[in-house]
Amino acid sequence: HTVNKTIEEVRVKGEPSEISEQRLLMYHSAKNVLNTGMKLLGLTPLRKM
């Protein structure tokens, strides 16, 4: 899954879990915004690449 791969690549050693959780929430929020925007434009969002 792309988000899981990205989370692993950008994780900072020793980073507090609160920051990791906020970053994950940001990724999910961006995914939802892009998904909704594509639907509004009449496009079919990709489920995976």
48 domain residue, yes or no? no
CA quadruple 10, 14, 15, 21: dihedral, nearest 10: 80
The tokens 């915004």 sit on which residue?
A: 33
49 domain residue, yes or no? no
25 domain residue, yes or no? yes
| Cβ neighbours of residue 12 closer than 8 Å, sequence gap 6 or more | 19
| Cβ neighbours of residue 39 closer than 8 Å, sequence gap 6 or more | 45
Q: What is the pLDDT of residues 1-49, one digit of tens each?
A: 566 676 666 667 777 878 878 888 888 898 899 999 999 999 998 877 6
Residue 23: what pLDDT?
82
Residue 40: what pLDDT?
96
Residue 3: what pLDDT?
63
Count of domains observed in the chain: 1
* pTM across the whole model: 0.63
13 domain residue, yes or no? no
Structural domain containing residue 35:
1-8+18-43
Residue 37: what pLDDT?
95
State both tokens at 26. 């940001």
The tokens 């899981």 sit on which residue?
A: 4
